[in-house]
A and B are shown apart, each in its own frame.
Chain A
Amino acid sequence: AQSVAQPEDQVNVAEGNPLTVKCTYSVSGNPYLFWYVQYPNRGLQFLLKYITGDNLVKGSYGFEAEFNKSQTSFHLKKPSALVSDSALYFCAVRRTGGKLIFGQGTELSVKP
């Protein structure tokens, strides 16, 4: 069965510091992986995806993610966090029929 896990419910970072939001996956075959961000009372915004190719994927708002096949991970990163990055982040894996399986979400809090 395909699944994703986000081991941290919350991540706290000081503004200007690098941030990492962790995601691990379990799939059979090649994984199609996604990161989304959700601001309060809003839908999800697409950040980036990994389908194939370069393991380092660059996305919106300065975010990037590194696909690591040996560790079955797809961690989201940003070199310098902003207060406005504070939000709920979801990792997802695509399954048959185009459906997405989401992780439980990680709340990112960036303090000034």
Chain B
Amino acid sequence: GAVVSQHPSWVICKSGTSVKIECRSLDFQATTMFWYRQFPKQSLMLMATSNEGSKATYEQGVEKDKFLINHASLTLSTLTVTSAHPEDSSFYICSVVSGSRGTDTQYFGPGTRLTVL
């Protein structure tokens, strides 16, 4: 399967600041990446689909101006949480899609724990 990394693994920031999270596909070129958030002991909620070279597609209810996604290369997508607030504290996970269309599998990064004070 694909190997995915995220950086940082955890971050603590003050309310009002912006935080950038990186997602890297280490062993293949990913045209599509997904961003999720997860609350403790809950399921994953898809936030957006990140497509290389084009604008991200956001799920209903996700503020695109607050969660900025940039997929500038085939191996890197970034999620920037702008003007973070305590309610943005969560576990953010990215994934890449590997395989033929229709049988593709998502492989996930290790996640980034964001705590906003």
Contact = CB atoms under 8 A, between A and B. Distances in A.
Interface of A: 32, 34, 36, 41-46, 49, 51, 88, 90, 94, 97-100, 102-105, 107
Interface in B6-56: 6, 32, 34, 41-44, 46, 49
Contact of B44 (A45, A51, A90): A90
B104 A41 contact: no
B105 A46 contact: yes
Nearest to A51: B103
A83 B4 CA distance: 27
Interface of B: 1, 4, 6, 32, 34, 41-44, 46, 49, 91, 93, 95, 97, 101-111, 113
Contacts, number: 56
Given A46-B107, A98-B32, 20 more contacts: A32-B102, A32-B103, A36-B108, A42-B110, A42-B111, A43-B4, A43-B6, A43-B111, A44-B44, A44-B93, A44-B108, A46-B105, A46-B108, A51-B103, A98-B101, A99-B34, A100-B34, A100-B106, A104-B42, A105-B42
Contacts of A44: 44, 93, 95, 108
A105 B32 contact: no
B43 A105 contact: yes
Nearest to B106: A100
Contacts of A107: 41
Contacts of B113: 41
A89 B96 CA distance: 19
